[in-house]
Amino acid sequence: MDISVIVPAYNERESLPELTAWIARVMQEHAYSYEVIIIDDGSTDGTWDTVRELTQADPHVHGICFRRNYGKSAALYCGFKRAQGEVVFTMDADLQDSPDEIPEMYRMIVEEGNDLVSGWKQNRQDNALTKNLPSKLYNATARRITGIKLHDMNCGLKAYRKEVVKNIEVYGEMHRYIPYLAKNAGYTRIAEKPVHHQKRKYGKSKFGLERFVNGFLDLQTLWFLTRFGGDPMHFFGYSGLAMFLVGFVMTVWIIAAKLIHQAQGVKFRAVTDQPLFYLALVAIVLGVILFLAGFLGEMIARNATERNRYNIKDQL
């Protein structure tokens, strides 16, 4: 099979018939063998009834229905697990992503050898204040931290080599950072394609401004786990050691200053009367706690079931 198209849907009953018809038209024009996997993420508007009708009318359409709303990452995880196409596409169900972009993105995977091609909504049709400006700030931060030069990392329209989606795990709200997950799994050929963006035709957006705050926190989590998840002592150990040394040096300096002043007969304050002494004690205690946190983290990491899971590219 050439292509799998994964469509997470939450209360998108009105748009799905039009979207699947559009996808079918593009696939037939280019003679692709394909499947469309629609994941109903706990919709309450009858979306699953529509999906059921579509699967009965078109054998290329398949559906997965969650009992409740789990989120986009869960929908993509299940879609990736089921996908059979050599190139896997993801797109939103709201008709803002154009299936007409599929042939060129497919070519960029098959002929140019890219592992992942991400869409770039150059001319967004969203509200400039609530979507465009926060999105620019979010993407600038993401580029800085991940090192991946994408203008629109969270674009729903993406194409992947099948091997990529079978070797990454999307969880929580990490769907925003699939390119980063792919890069950390060793799939570094990541390209970008400007894509046409349309205004939402039916319903309303399911995301608010809070997604940018959550996205930033998730990015920090992902960066930390990627860099220190396997070696927590490298973070907590060094931080704890540095904190302990700062507190120890401060303590020695305070006591030495007292002894020198005492020997010279100069008036001095008692050690316990100096605020700096208590700051030094706090630094020492924090240093010990951080070091112990690193030690415990190292023990947990050493006993993790996937500690020796590696993506092997080839064997001879």
Are 220 and 144 within 8 A, CB to CB? Answer: no
The confidence score (pLDDT) of residue 135 equals 74
Write down the pLDDT at residue 61.
96
Say yes or no to pLDDT of 130 above 60.
Answer: no
| Distance of alpha carbon 66 from alpha carbon 74, whole angstroms | 9
What is the reported pLDDT for 17? 95
Q: What is the rounded average pLDDT of the residues 210-222? A: 69
pTM of this structure:
0.75
pLDDT surpasses 60 at 25: yes
Q: If you ran DSSP here, which 8-state letter would residue 97 be given?
A: B
Per-residue pLDDT, 39: 96
Q: pLDDT digits over 182-208, tens only?
A: 998 899 999 999 998 877 777 666 555
Q: Can you list the alpha helix ranges (DSSP code H) found in the chain?
A: 16-29, 47-57, 72-82, 102-110, 133-146, 162-165, 178-184, 210-228, 232-264, 275-302
- Give the pair of three-digit tokens for residue 29: 């024009």
| Average pLDDT across the chain, whole number | 85
Whether the CB-CB separation of 146 and 218 falls below 8 Å is answered with no
Q: Is the dihedral of CA 282, 286, 289, 295 positive or negative?
A: negative
Q: Which residue has the higher pLDDT, 268 or 157?
A: 157
For the segment 258-273, the average pLDDT, to the nearest whole number, is 78
